[in-house]
Structure 1
């Protein structure tokens, strides 16, 4: 069996990534994060993690274009016990730090109208690769100098969605087929600002794998607990494109810096709020 490089439509991609009926879908994932110093220090396995992507796909009837809107939670775990970390001792500086678990309350992605896919008779995959160089919004503020002093943020992200080929042509995707979609993700990127690396040369390597469901109750108990008890906003994906900027680790660190310094528990509470649409 061989994979043939082909092109699929945006609507076919939407069936794989979420659904064409604008329902919320979840990709739960587990993985690991490694440090790759670019000095004399050795690489380290820093964290395991557990996360969930909460997303829906929306069609603009005026333009027939699709947009994916989402929220994301990532919990950093102890590599030995698997417990959710509240604090972390930086192995290079020795400083004990508050762990700022990721909680992106809004992200969006306009789906291209044509997407490269690799097709086989039964199982196929889509690869979305992004190589970025962006200005670091924290670099110009002295108070963040020990956290994220780099002028630019450079990262490479690769998302692979593996799915039953029949999804591309199915008019109605069955529940079992929907649950057969898997995610593989790999990233090389800068230190997270909360790690307080003080300009140490190096980068992070992340990898995780995940699976798709449209049923909240099927998520990992730790994810369900944090959403139900602290973050009900994250139970559902945004209902529309929002009139606000897209969340990143750097924007969230800036927003939550004072809470981080106070040692508050992360992720911070996220109650249900009225979110204005574009």
Structure 2
């Protein structure tokens, strides 16, 4: 398949070529690691991404317009947390979380009657939270993380003319400690391990999660209408809401 054909197959998997809103829901856990320390399951994790695909005339590909909300849960009860070790938990409200999809050879593995699109995204860029300004909240002046996605779709996605196909997914992320955890430059970090699926509609999001979104940020039930930037992350959001607190 050509890069353009692969991109269209992936776009059908991740979203819908007709521009309809598509909701992904996922669930999993967040584990900590640190030198000479046992691995710990710190949090459950649950999230929702609502996306709309539009043509991108500049690249010949697509703009994936999305909002994303995700919540840290008690690892036993799976209830949405308010605090952790006496600190307020800051959940994820990323608006936007947009992505440009250009024609490129999307890694594809054939698995019998399924195919898997896999994306490995290493990240390294200047941290929005420099250590000198946020010594309690930042591990390093460079933000480093690794995002690993797998999207599983019917093999027919390679030949169908339908705008979208069913999809299940897995996601793994290695990242520094979250800013609100106040771990400073302590060695170690977090591993997120989740799985989820493309829903038939937003109404299939678990009721507890829909109610929480409706009560706090109801706009997250829908995708953005147009491209905006920059994207929001937990680190940029923390900076917007918390003034620097350098050490004396």
How many angstroms apart in 1 are the aligned matches of 2:114 and 2:120? 20
The whole-number CA distance in structure 2 between the counterparts of 1:152 and 1:85 is 28
Q: Distance in 1 between the 2:128 and 2:58 partners?
A: 34
Residue 13 of structure 1 deviates from its aligned partner by 1.2
Q: Is the 8 A contact 2:51 2:65 kept in 1?
A: yes
* 1:150 matched residue in structure 2: 140
> For 2:117, which of 117, 122, 126 is the aligned residue?
126
Does 1:256 pair with 2:247? no
Match in the other structure for 2:22: 25
Contact 1:6 1:119 in 2 (8 A): no
8 A Cα contact 2:60 2:103, kept in partner: no
Offset from partner CA, 1:101-151 (integer Å, 9 cap, x none):
111010121113032211244101000101121111211553x21111411
> How many angstroms does 1:227 deviate by?
2.2
Question: Is residue 2:80 matched to residue 1:84?
Answer: yes
- Matching of residue 98 in structure 1 with residue 88 in structure 2: yes
TM-score (norm 1): 0.81
Runs (5+) with no aligned partner, structure 1? 90-95, 259-278
TM-score scaled by length of structure 2 = 0.91
Answer whether contact 2:50 2:67 (CA < 8 A) is retained: yes
Which residue of structure 1 lines up, in the alignment, with residue 246 of structure 2? none
Asked if 1:43 is matched to 2:43, the reply is no
After superposition, where does 1:1-278 map in structure 2 within 5 Å?
Answer: 8-38=5-35, 40-61=36-57, 63-89=59-85, 96-114=86-104, 115-139=106-130, 141-142=132-133, 144-173=134-163, 178=165, 180-242=166-228, 244-257=229-242
Give the Cα separation in 2 of the matches to 1:86 and 1:149: 23
In 1: Cα distance, 2:135 partner to 2:39 partner: 24
Q: Work out whether residues 129 and 159 of structure 1, in 8 Å CA contact, stay in contact via their aligned partners in 2.
A: yes
> How big is the alpha-carbon RMSD for the aligned residues of Structure 1 and Structure 2?
1.9
Structure 1 residues 88 and 246, CA gap change in structure 2 (3 angstroms)? same
User: Distance in 2 between the 1:60 and 1:82 partners?
Assistant: 39
Q: What's the secondary structure of 1:106's corresponding residue?
A: coil
Q: Is this contact kept in 1: 2:18–2:163, CA < 8 A? A: no
CA contact (8 A) 1:34 1:44 kept: yes
Structure 2 CA distance for aligned equivalents of residues 117 and 111 of structure 1: 16
SS in structure 1 of the partner of residue 42 of structure 2: strand
Alpha-carbon distance between aligned partners in 1 of 2:139 and 2:117, rounded to the nearest angstrom: 35
CA distance in 1, matches of 2:183, 2:2: 43
CA deviation profile, 1:160-190 (whole Å, cap 9, x unmatched): 000101022211257xxx3x31010011111
CA distance in 1, matches of 2:126, 2:200: 36
- Per-residue deviation, 1:61: 4.2
User: How many pairs align?
Assistant: 241
Runs of 4+ deviating beyond 6 Å: none
Please, which runs of 5 or more residues in structure 2 have no aligned partner? 244-248
Deviation at 1:226, TM superposition (A): 1.8
